[in-house]
Chain A
Amino acid sequence: EVQLVQSGAEVKKPGESLKISCKGSGYYFNTYWIGWVRQMPGKGLEWMGIIYPGDSDTRYNPSFQGQVTISADKSVSTAYLQWGSLKASDTAMYYCVRPDSGYWGQGTLVTVSS
């Protein structure tokens, strides 16, 4: 059974850094693109970017380029989404997704508040 399991909810202060994770299982992690989706409170879904774990080829939505870093560690079948300096506007639910087949993680709620 294919599963994407995300790390737990985070509460951070503006300016802090953060790295959330998404562990894939039940399939060969290296050969499927995996992406990150943002959903701000009460708003729609936005693709942030996608990564091919096999060679770390990464494509960013221009709106998120430079704002976040997407990475993957094949050895532990895990993808990551990272911020260097969080802002209050980063408060959202973040999902990892396998776009080829519609498998979604359960979501990670990130709250940024002073």
Chain B
Amino acid sequence: QSALTQPASVSGSPGQSITISCTGTSSDIGGYNYVSWYQQHPGKAPKLMIYDVSKRPSGVSNRFSGSKSGNTASLTISGLQAEDEADYYCNSYTSSITWVFGGGTKLTVL
């Protein structure tokens, strides 16, 4: 199974909004509403930010939002803050009853 496709890097200034895309196929993102997004700071375990395409776990800022259209999911971070600088990974359930990650996107807050 191939990894989902994410941009290698994105950047934005404090206060701005950014969107990270995640493209798959009809066998993963397009076929199920089980897309999640993880944030990973250096040396730390990943943290769940969005699940089931657009739901936020308790404690996650409402500046983080998720959506999906066809085979592409997106993570939007509004009101960028310095602490948002991290790696972000999308994740999707697949038709082979397994899961697949995206390649990861490095977010730089300028």
Residues of A within 8 A of B (CB): 35, 37, 44-47, 49-50, 59, 61-62, 95, 99, 101-102, 104-107
- CB within 8 Å for A102 and B45 given contacts A45-B104, A59-B96: no
- Indicate whether B48 reaches chain A with its CB closer than 8 angstroms: yes
Q: List 19 A-B contacts (CB under 8 A).
A: A35-B99, A44-B3, A44-B87, A44-B103, A45-B46, A46-B101, A47-B98, A47-B99, A47-B100, A47-B101, A50-B99, A59-B96, A61-B1, A99-B93, A99-B99, A102-B48, A102-B51, A104-B45, A106-B45
Residues of B within 8 A of A (CB): 1, 3, 36, 38, 40, 45-48, 51, 57, 87, 89, 91, 93, 96-104
Given known contacts A35-B99, A50-B99, what 8 new A-B pairs fall within 8 Å (CB)? A44-B101, A44-B102, A44-B103, A47-B99, A47-B101, A59-B96, A61-B1, A104-B45
Q: What chain A residues lie within 8 Å of B38 (beta carbons)? A: 45, 102
Q: What chain A residues lie within 8 Å of B40 (beta carbons)? A: 45
Interface centre among A35, A49, A99, A101 (most CB of B within 10 A): A99
Q: What chain B residues lie within 8 Å of A107 (beta carbons)? A: 45
* A33 CB, min distance to chain B CBs, angstroms: 9
* B77 CB, min distance to chain A CBs, angstroms: 18
Q: What chain B residues lie within 8 Å of A46 (beta carbons)? A: 3, 101
A104 to B93, CA, bound (A): 17
A49 to B96, CA, bound (A): 11
Whether the Cβ atoms of A44 and B99 lie closer than 8 Å is no
Q: What chain A residues lie within 8 Å of B87 (beta carbons)? A: 44
Residue of A nearest to B101 (CB): A45
Whether the Cβ atoms of B57 and A102 lie closer than 8 Å is yes
* A35 CB, min distance to chain B CBs, angstroms: 7
Q: What chain B residues lie within 8 Å of A59 (beta carbons)? A: 96-98
